[in-house]
Amino acid sequence: MAGSDTDWIGRAIGGETISAELTAGKISNEKQLGKAGFALSSPAFQAGRELDPSFTAIEEDAVAPPLEWTAPPPGTQELVLVVEDAASGEIHWLVWGLAGQRGQLLEGEAPPRVGKNAKGNSEWLLPNPPVGVQHLYVFQLFALDLPLTLMPGATYDDLLAMMKDHVTAVALLSAKFEGHVVEDLDMADLDDNE
């Protein structure tokens, strides 16, 4: 996307290369980035750094990471979270129904409403890149000037259509994860090492 009008997304997340057209590039713009101090962060990882395996397909009991955000611009009616793979555009999480105010999602917390991810499930799609390949995941939080009327389980296209022309601010956060080999531990092997 060199030279495109969505280069601001890459700059906003530390100069990373964005191969896919992300939601922020489709329905928001650079002027809306961080408007009124609107920001997204996580107590579990630093912006642009590695996701802990406990939030990925590496861990058996993996859950969605915790997120925190500052107050959106005045007049915000609802917040929507979209998490995408920056290389493929694969949807990892669609969340809406978040109050238009400062807030958080705790680790593994069930959000108010969740839509279908790239696999057709209404849950956090665990990052699982190929072994030795690092992917970048972009967390995009949108402030909207109206509440959404979508039911849980809606598709990305349904959500995008309802959000279009109603975004007043956007906050971005990114995290990386490299595919690992998952080894099954045999309890007998552990006993031999004692």
- Domain-embedded: residue 97: yes
Count of CB atoms situated within 10 Å of the CB of 17: 10
- Domain-embedded: residue 41: yes
Phi, psi dihedrals of residue 63, rounded to the nearest 5°: -135, 175
- Domain-embedded: residue 192: no
Model confidence band, residue 166 (pLDDT cutoffs 50, 70, 90): very high
> What whole-number percentage of the chain has pLDDT above 90?
82
Number of structural domains (the chain) is 1
Q: What is the CA radius of gyration of the chain?
A: 17
- Domain-embedded: residue 190: no
- Domain-embedded: residue 187: no
Question: What's the CA gap between 74 and 36, in Å, rounded?
Answer: 8
Question: What's the CA gap between 31 and 3, in Å, rounded?
Answer: 18
- Is 80 within 8 Å of 159 (Cβ atoms)? yes
| Domain carrying residue 16 | 7-180
- Domain-embedded: residue 141: yes
Alpha-carbon distances, residue 129 vs 99, 167, 172, 180 (angstroms):
32, 31, 21, 8
> Which pair of structure tokens corresponds to residue 24?
């922020």
pLDDT tens digits, one per residue of 78-116: 999 999 999 999 999 999 999 999 999 999 999 999 999
Residue 181 pLDDT: 72
Higher confidence at residue 129 or residue 4? Answer: 129
User: What is the domain-level CATH number for residue 51?
Assistant: 3.90.280.10
- Domain-embedded: residue 194: no
Average pLDDT over residues 38-45: 97
